[in-house]
Each structure stands twice: as C-alpha cells, then as structure tokens.
Amino acid sequence: MILAALASYGVAFNLTGPLQQRNGALPVIWRALGVGLILTAPLGLRDVAAANWKASSLLSLLALGAFGTGVAFVLFAVGAGRMGATRASATTFLTPVVALLLGVIVLHESVALLSVSGAAICLGGAWLIRQARMAE
C-alpha cells in the first residue's frame, strides 16, 4: 500500500506541472479531487451514514478539507507548474519537520531521537534537491 502511495505521488508530481501550465491550477485540482472523491467515497459511505454528526464536527471537517487540503493542493499545483515537479516535490519533505515542531511548540510533546533524526533526513533531502536544481 505504501509503495502505491509513493508511486501515486511520483505520477502526480510529474503530471501536475504540464497540466497546470496548459489548463490552470484550479481546473486541475478540481478534477483530481473529483476523481479522488469518486474512487474513495464508496469505501466510507457506510461509516459516514452511521456516524453521529454534530454541527461543530461537520464544520471542522469542511474547514480542514477546504482550507487545509484544498489550499495546499492549489499551491502545490501552482508550484509544480512554475518550478517543475522536482522542486515542487521538495516541499513534501518539510511537512514532517513542521509537524514535529508544532507538536513540540503547541502540544508540548516529547520528541524521541528517532523523530529528530527523521526530521534531519527530511531537511537533508530537501537541501539535496535544492542543490541539484541549482547545479543545473
């Protein structure tokens, strides 16, 4: 399953740039999210129907989808179109680092040495991509 997700990211990064340049970021993202909805919605319909929904939960879910995922996807598509797939994919290396920092700063979580090592590897990967692009 993890390999399928990694392959999907690789394909998405390489398709998004040319599609965004030709069609614009928003049409590409709307279509991608629509396909994702069609492919994944049947897997959760039973659980959604059985859930005990509160207005606050529904509003939180909509805000997370629109402002978290939606805005992030649009920014990613624009970045892939302007910078290319390789440089745009480097931004995904920063997500675990930001999550680790927010966990420590906001939630006062303790951090294992393995987590710090993983964050360092992520930053190293982003740095290597930047160096490779600068050498071109």
Q: Provide the residue range defining the domain that includes 125.
A: 86-136
Q: Do 1 and 61 share a domain, yes or no?
A: yes
Q: Do 62 and 99 share a domain, yes or no?
A: no
pLDDT score of 6: 62
Domain count, the chain: 2
DSSP tag of 15? H
Report DSSP letters for 62-112, one per residue. Answer: HHIIIIIIIHHHHHHHHHHHHH-HHHHHGGGGHHHHHHHHHHHHTT-----
pLDDT along the chain (136 residues), means of 10: 66 76 80 84 86 87 82 75 74 85 92 92 86 72
d(CA 25, CA 70): 11
Q: Do 46 and 112 share a domain, yes or no?
A: no
pLDDT score of 106: 92
Q: Do 59 and 17 share a domain, yes or no?
A: yes
Q: Do 129 and 79 share a domain, yes or no?
A: no
Find where tokens 């859930």 sit: 51
